[in-house]
């Protein structure tokens, strides 16, 4: 039994002594996972601070706090930091921590590369954030960096170098995850017995490898246009500004699925645990993730319905985009069916997962509306879009990460977090996030464009409500920080190996906290002990 095997051995493998040895030189998947999670939480607060500047300026009509150019820097940096600094690294951190535990591997396949792929990131973000203090300011052309506007910026070289570094880090992380999943599974852990979270990351990692080089290519072309007088995107020199958008969104659309597929995996682990019933339709869930990943490659131009595409292209991209609703719908229906007939309890991870299913689906609905090209002629580049992608990225991706942290924190730290404060954090977040983003649907429909620092007085009321929700949501995350710090360092309540009554899967067979080295001897797989139940019947 895996449990005893790890107990026998873990005494012989202590964590390295000394802070530098342990945390900087680390090749251990658990320590690197922790580093990723701490880094992404830090970035979440930095990106959140930028959002607070945005909501403060938009609190009422008239310019009160910042210059318009600085406002644009804030919107751009908020997006870059949240996407590349908060959401993606936290998923990589979860992958680092959980994938080896879930497939019964002693570590990641390429531990030294794992260290490198983490340590690139802090430097990339120092470089990116330092542009805010440079003469000329940081990038202000939006995270999409559309030329020719982005080429007017002074800091484009720094931004692009930072993006290159992030891309290298992501690609190395993805290679490591694929190598681990394909080569390091314990005997008997067939591909179709893997937890859905592992499946979701396997597919996400392929998306990363496919599209990060595309982004690198696009931004390198920007760089040569700016400094070496090429004309890829310069109409006066025979280039085409729309070419950049095609290349960017060929990366950018799979990118948004990179930020949601691991969330699907997390939710598919948590709901069965607290419903005490295996996931409904395991194979359909895996197949749905794979089909969403495939479709994500052929829908990029739905971000560009208003650039004047030929009608045939608009129709193709509209149909392809609408198709995504089918596998996504299957996932939502399967989560509901998993709950149906279960025996549910509502601990904090479950609350966040349920909120995820409902609010992510609302984001999916506005996504379906946006897919309809004629209606998109109105929605495009308005606050309706802002509301849409914040529903899928905040109440989707970010909520799933919070659910995962509450779910696996006992395994990481060996202590239970405070359930009361976890629930306070949940209710405060879930109410405020709707106060924050729901009114933005109305603003967009009424005609407020996105990325504007000031607006007509007709938009005043909903902006004020949205800003209040924003400050409230921001403050709620301080509770999160408190709960995590308490749960890691100060909580008196020891976590059991199987921290949750209904929890199944290999990660719950090792002690809590998970010892520095696990699975020196490959565990034996019992089909009925898998998170999704015995898939044979």
Residues known to be catalytic: 78, 107, 143, 169-170, 253, 255, 257, 268, 302-303, 328, 331, 450
Gap between the Cα atoms of 22 and 442, Å rounded: 51
Q: Does 298 bind another protein (CB under 8 A)?
A: no
**CA geometry: angle 324, 196, 329, nearest 5 deg:** 25
Residue with tokens 């929700």: 469
Q: Measured in whole angstroms, how far is the alpha carbon of residue 345 from the centre of its chain?
A: 26
> By CB under 8 A, is residue 123 in contact with another protein?
no
Of the residues 452, 464, 479, 496, which one makes contact with another protein according to CB under 8 A: 452
Q: How far is CA 452 from CA 46, 71, 72, in A?
A: 21, 8, 8
Give, as ranges, the residues between 353 and 372 that touch another protein (CB under 8 A): 354, 357-358, 361-362, 365-366, 368-369, 372
Q: Which is nearer to another protein, 27 or 231 (CB)?
A: 231
Question: How remote is the C-alpha of 380 from its chain's centroid?
Answer: 23
> How deeply is 149 buried, as exposed, middle or buried, from its count of CB atoms within 10 A (0-12, 13-18, 19+)?
middle
**Is there a cis peptide before residue 148, judged by omega within 30 degrees of 0?**
yes
Applying CB under 8 A, the span of 2-10, 33-41, 442-450, 470-478 interacting with another protein comes to 442-450
Q: Find the shortest distance in angstroms from Cβ 253 to another protein.
A: 18
Place of tokens 């971000």: 303
Binding test (CB under 8 A) with another protein, winner from 130, 456, 485, 527: 456
375 binds another protein (CB under 8 A): yes
Smallest gap, in angstroms, from Cβ of residue 417 to another protein? Answer: 20
Is 77 a binding residue for another protein by CB under 8 A? The answer is no
Q: Which of 324, 338, 486, 339 is nearest to 409 (CA)?
A: 486
The tokens describing 506, both together, are 């290999």
| Binds another protein (CB under 8 A): choice among 353, 382, 466, 477 | 382
Site for another protein contains 438 (CB under 8 A): no
Q: Which member of 16, 213, 329, 513 binds another protein (CB under 8 A)?
A: 329
As a whole number of angstroms, the distance between CA 499 and CA 488 comes to 15
Q: Which of residues 124-153 bind another protein (CB under 8 A)?
A: 140-142, 146, 148-149, 152
Least CB distance to another protein at residue 61 (A): 4
For 269, other C-beta atoms within 10 Å of its C-beta total: 28
Kindly state the smallest distance separating residue 495's Cβ from another protein, in Å: 20
Burial label for 12, CB within 10 Å (0-12, 13-18, 19+), is exposed
Beta carbon of residue 252, minimum distance to another protein (angstroms, whole number): 15
Residue 421, interface with another protein (CB under 8 A)?
no
Nearer to another protein, 315 or 475 (CB): 315
Asked if 521 is part of the footprint of another protein (rule: CB under 8 A), the reply reads: no
Query: Site for another protein (CB under 8 A): which residue of 322, 431, 464, 524?
Result: 322
* Helical segments of 184-301, H only: 196-227, 241-258, 261-275, 282-296
Separation of CA 84 from chain center: 9
Which two structure tokens, joined as six digits, stand for 199?
């499946």
Choose one: 2-10, 42-50, 95-103, 350-358; the region binding another protein (CB under 8 A): 350-358
Of 50, 97, 197, 282, which one interacts with another protein (CB under 8 A)?
282
CB-nearer residue toward another protein: 132 or 368: 368
d(C-alpha 528, C-alpha 213), whole Å: 41
Half-sphere exposure of 146 (CA within 13 A, CB side): 10
CB 321 within 8 A of CB 371: yes
Instruction: Using the minimum distance from each CB to another protein, give the nearer residue, 109 or 285.
Output: 285
Closer by beta carbon to another protein, 29 or else 504: 504
CA neighbor of 531 nearest in space, from 290, 200, 205, 259: 200
Given 298, 460, 479, 521, the residue binding another protein (CB under 8 A): 460
Question: Residue 241, interface with another protein (CB under 8 A)?
Answer: yes
Task: Provide the minimum distance between the beta carbon of 369 and another protein in the complex, in angstroms, as a whole number.
Answer: 5
Q: Considering beta carbons, is residue 262 or 278 the nearer one to another protein? A: 278
Does position 278 interact with another protein (CB under 8 A)? The reply is yes
Q: Which stretch binds another protein (CB under 8 A): 4-12, 123-131, 259-267, 374-382?
A: 374-382
3-state secondary structure of 499: coil
> Which CA distances in Å does 488 have to 206, 416, 478, 513?
33, 8, 15, 10
CB 189 within 8 A of CB 525: yes
**Residue 17 to residue 13: CA distance in whole angstroms:** 11
Among 97-105, 401-409, 414-422, 455-463, the segment contacting another protein (CB under 8 A): 455-463
221 or 354: whose CB is closer to another protein? Answer: 354
Q: Is 276 in the site for another protein (CB under 8 A)?
A: yes
Q: What tokens were used for 534? A: 């015995």
CB of 479 to another protein, least distance (A): 24
What is the dihedral sign for C-alpha 181, 183, 187, 192?
positive
Closest approach of another protein to the CB of residue 455, in Å: 7
Does position 66 interact with another protein (CB under 8 A)? The reply is: yes
CB of 500 to another protein, least distance (A): 12
């Amino acid at each position: 039994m895996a449990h005893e095997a790890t107990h026998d051995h873990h005494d012989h493998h202590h964590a390295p002594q000394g802070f530098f040895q342990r945390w900087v030189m680390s090749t251990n998947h658990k320590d690197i996972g922790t580093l990723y999670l701490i880094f992404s939480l830090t970035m979440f607060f930095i990106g959140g601070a930028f959002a607070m500047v945005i909501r403060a300026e938009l609190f009422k009509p008239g310019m009160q706090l910042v210059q318009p150019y600085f406002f644009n820097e804030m919107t751009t940096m908020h997006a870059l930091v949240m996407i590349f600094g908060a959401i993606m690294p936290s998923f990589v951190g979860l992958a680092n921590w959980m994938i080896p535990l879930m497939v019964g591997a002693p570590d990641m396949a390429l531990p030294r590369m794992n260290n490198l792929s983490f340590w690139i990131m802090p430097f990339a973000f120092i470089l990116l954030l330092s542009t805010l203090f440079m003469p000329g300011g940081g990038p202000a052309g939006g995270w999409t960096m559309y030329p020719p506007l982005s080429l007017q910026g002074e800091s484009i070289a720094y931004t692009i170098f930072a993006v290159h570094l992030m891309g290298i880090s992501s690609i190395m992380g993805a290679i490591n995850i694929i190598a681990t999943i394909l080569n390091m599974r314990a005997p008997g852990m067939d591909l179709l017995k893997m937890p859905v979270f592992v499946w979701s990351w396997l597919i996400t990692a392929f998306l990363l490898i496919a599209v990060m080089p595309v982004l690198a290519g696009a931004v390198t072309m920007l760089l040569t246009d700016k400094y070496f007088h090429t004309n890829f995107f310069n109409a006066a020199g025979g280039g085409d500004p729309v070419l950049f958008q095609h290349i960017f969104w060929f990366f950018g659309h799979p990118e948004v699925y990179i930020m949601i597929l691991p969330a699907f995996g997390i939710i598919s682990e948590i709901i069965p645990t607290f419903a005490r019933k295996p996931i409904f339709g395991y194979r359909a869930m895996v197949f749905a993730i794979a089909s969403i990943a495939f479709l994500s490659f052929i829908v990029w131009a739905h971000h560009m319905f208003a650039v004047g595409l030929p009608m045939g292209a608009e129709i193709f991209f509209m149909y392809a985009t609408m198709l995504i609703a089918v596998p996504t719908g299957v996932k939502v229906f399967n989560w509901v069916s998993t709950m149906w007939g279960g025996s549910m309890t509502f601990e904090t991870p479950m609350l966040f997962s349920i909120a995820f299913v409902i609010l992510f689906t609302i984001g999916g609905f506005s996504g379906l509306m946006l897919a309809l090209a004629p209606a998109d002629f109105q929605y495009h580049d308005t606050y309706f879009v802002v509301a849409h992608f914040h529903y899928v990225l905040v109440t989707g991706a970010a909520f799933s990460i919070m659910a995962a942290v509450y779910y696996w924190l006992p395994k990481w730290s060996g202590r239970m977090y405070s359930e009361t404060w976890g629930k306070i954090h949940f209710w405060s977040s879930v109410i405020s996030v709707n106060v924050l983003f729901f009114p933005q649907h109305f603003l967009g429909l009424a005609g407020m464009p996105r990325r504007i620092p000031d607006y007509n007085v007709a938009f005043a009321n909903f902006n004020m409500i949205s800003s209040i929700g924003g400050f409230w949501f921001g403050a709620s995350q301080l509770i999160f920080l408190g709960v995590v710090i308490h749960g890691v360092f100060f909580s008196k309540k020891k976590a059991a190996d199987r921290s949750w009554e209904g929890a199944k899967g290999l990660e719950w067979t090792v002690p809590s906290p998970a010892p520095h080295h696990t699975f020196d001897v490959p565990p034996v797989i019992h089909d009925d002990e898998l998170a999704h139940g015995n898939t044979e019947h």
